[in-house]
């Protein structure tokens, strides 16, 4: 388990206690603190000692930020299955046991994720779960989702880091994470590329939202009194997705080139997602450049030229391409 902390004193004890109450205890917990200035480390040591948790506590020499911290913590793990763990959630008692089961039943499973209840700072319920919040993501479909299409459309896998577990194969090939890339999206894409994905349509943790939560989740809007997630510029969001696609393509190219010497077996799924990444990188980069222009007529002119050049090829069919172009022009 890779547990990352930063100024998490308010909720960390509750999270560690929920881990201590698992029906299947994790074999190791790598806790990597990102230079907390509160009592996070003191609480971590006290709770781990109280429950005898198999926890190894480390502190970064300099602040890394959320994504880099999870990357470093992940690479310190030794197990066959790795869980990402946020400092402020609460895990239900069967989470580890139920999420390990698919890995134990099928050696080709590389990624497992579950549903989770979206709750407020004091665990007040919203009646909404990670799966039901955005039905269009079709999270319950697991291996049947068209993850390549989501990549081409500039959409993330939509799987929260706190709800997933992945194999050591994913860890070894996906790590270290590129700078500026969301750790949950990166790991999820590699999970789909390298093997079988299993979705567990059961809430196995409480996904807590509060004013100091990292990330840009729109789930804050479900909880009274919380500040909504800050919106980023449309062009910036496209640029962020383009960077993710480029990084995926670059890593996959490297893995493909070195697969023989590294004794890595990469299947058809991997090859298909690499093609998707190449298409996505081209289209999303072009869309970001178009959307960045302040004048609508300039966006229209450059957008039509990009369409003629084939820069919108990641979209399936001319109607989808035109709808997307109109969206980029009107934003």
pTM of the predicted structure, to 2 decimals: 0.95
The CA radius of gyration of the chain, in Å to the nearest whole number, is 20
Q: What is the pLDDT of residue 130?
A: 97
Q: What is the pLDDT of residue 216?
A: 58
Same domain, 191 and 102: yes
Place of tokens 């807590």: 208
CA angle 217-173-110, nearest 5°? 70
Same domain, 211 and 251: no
First to last CA, the chain: 41
Same domain, 197 and 297: no
State whether residue 53 is helix, strand or coil. Answer: coil
What is the rounded CA–CA span in Å between residue 28 and residue 42?
19
Query: Has residue 37 been placed in a domain?
Result: yes
Same domain, 93 and 181: yes
Query: For the residues 305-309, what does the mean pLDDT come to?
Result: 97
Domain boundary among 169, 191, 222: 222
DSSP character string of 221-269: GGSTTPPPPPPPPHHHHHHHHHHHHHHHHHHHHHHHHTTTTTT----HH
Query: Has residue 96 been placed in a domain?
Result: yes
Total of domains in the chain: 2
Domain boundary among 199, 222, 245: 222
Q: What is the pLDDT of residue 61?
A: 96
Q: What mean pLDDT is reported for the chain?
A: 95
Query: Has residue 228 been placed in a domain?
Result: no
Sign of CA dihedral 297, 303, 305, 308: negative
Query: Has residue 227 been placed in a domain?
Result: no
Same domain, 294 and 182: no
Same domain, 173 and 76: yes
Query: For the residues 226-255, what does the mean pLDDT come to?
Result: 92
Are 223 and 235 a contacting pair, CB within 8 Å?
A: no
Whole domain around residue 152: which residue ranges? 2-222
DSSP character string of 170-221: HHHHHPSPPTT--HHHHHHHHHHHHSEEEEEEEEEEEEE--TT--S--GGGG
Domain boundary among 154, 188, 222: 222
Query: Has residue 35 been placed in a domain?
Result: yes
Query: Has residue 212 been placed in a domain?
Result: yes
Same domain, 218 and 325: no
Q: What is the pLDDT of residue 214?
A: 65
Summarize pLDDT for 45-96 with one digit per residue, the tens: 999 999 999 999 999 999 999 999 999 999 999 999 999 999 999 999 999 9
Summarize pLDDT for 204-240 with one digit per residue, the tens: 999 999 988 766 567 888 888 787 777 889 999 999 9
Provide φ and ψ at 196, rounded to 5°: -95, 140
pLDDT band at 261 (very low <50, low <70, confident <90, very high): low
Compare 91 and 265 and report the one with higher pLDDT: 91
What is the rounded CA–CA span in Å between residue 330 and residue 317?
20
Compare 264 and 299 and report the one with higher pLDDT: 299
Same domain, 217 and 275: no
Query: Has residue 68 been placed in a domain?
Result: yes
Same domain, 70 and 205: yes
Of all residues in the chain, what percent carry a pLDDT higher than 90? 89
Q: What is the pLDDT of residue 73?
A: 98
State whether residue 10 is helix, strand or coil. Answer: coil
Lowest mean pLDDT among 261-265, 307-311, 314-318, 322-326: 261-265
CATH number for the domain including 135?
Answer: 3.90.550.10
255 Cβ partners below 8 Å, 6+ apart? 173, 262, 264, 266, 270
Q: What is the pLDDT of residue 218?
A: 78
Same domain, 238 and 217: no
Give yes or no for residue 30 having a pLDDT over 80. Answer: yes
Same domain, 254 and 138: no
**Host H or E run for residue 118:** strand 109-119
Same domain, 217 and 277: no
Summarize pLDDT for 145-198 with one digit per residue, the tens: 999 999 999 999 999 999 999 999 999 999 999 998 999 999 999 999 999 999
What is the rounded CA–CA span in Å between residue 156 and residue 192?
12
Of all residues in the chain, what percent carry a pLDDT higher than 70? 98
Lowest mean pLDDT among 213-217, 222-226, 252-256, 317-321: 213-217
Q: Which of 200, 185, 198, 201 is nearest to 273 (CA)?
A: 185
User: For 11, which DSSP code?
Assistant: T
Query: Has residue 137 been placed in a domain?
Result: yes
The two structure tokens encoding residue 111: 């990624």
């Amino acid at each position: 388990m890779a547990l990352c902390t930063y100024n998490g004193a308010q909720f960390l004890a509750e999270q560690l206690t929920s881990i201590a109450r698992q029906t299947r205890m994790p074999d190791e917990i790598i806790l990597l603190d990102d230079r907390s200035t509160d009592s996070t480390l003191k609480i971590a040591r006290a709770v781990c000692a109280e429950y005898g948790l198999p926890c190894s506590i480390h502190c970064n020499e300099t602040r890394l930020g959320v994504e880099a911290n999870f990357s470093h913590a992940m690479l310190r793990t030794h197990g066959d299955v790795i869980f990402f763990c946020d400092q402020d959630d609460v895990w239900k008692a069967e989470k580890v046991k139920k999420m390990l089961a698919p890995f134990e039943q099928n050696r080709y499973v590389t990624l497992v994720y579950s549903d989770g209840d979206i709750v407020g700072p004091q665990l007040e319920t919203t009646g909404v779960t990670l799966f039901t919040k955005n039905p269009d993501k079709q999270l319950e479909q697991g291996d049947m989702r068209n993850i390549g299409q989501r990549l081409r459309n500039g959409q993330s896998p939509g799987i929260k880091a706190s709800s997933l577990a992945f194999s050591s194969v994913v860890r070894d090939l996906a790590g270290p994470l590129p700078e500026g890339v969301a750790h949950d999206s990166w790991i999820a894409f590699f999970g789909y590329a390298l093997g079988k994905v299993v979705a567990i349509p059961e809430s196995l943790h409480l996904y807590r939202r509060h004013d100091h939560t990292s990330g840009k989740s729109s789930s804050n809007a479900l909880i009274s009194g919380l500040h909504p997630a800050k919106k980023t510029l449309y062009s910036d969001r496209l640029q962020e997705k383009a960077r993710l696609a480029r990084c995926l393509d670059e890593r996959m190219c490297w893995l493909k080139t070195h697969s023989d010497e590294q004794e890595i077996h990469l299947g058809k799924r991997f090859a298909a997602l690499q093609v998707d990444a190449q298409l996505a990188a081209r289209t999303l980069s072009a869309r970001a450049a178009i959307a960045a222009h302040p004048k609508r007529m300039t966006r229209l002119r450059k957008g039509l030229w990009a369409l003629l050049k084939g820069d919108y090829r990641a979209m399936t069919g001319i109607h989808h391409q035109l709808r997307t172009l109109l969206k980029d022009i009107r934003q």
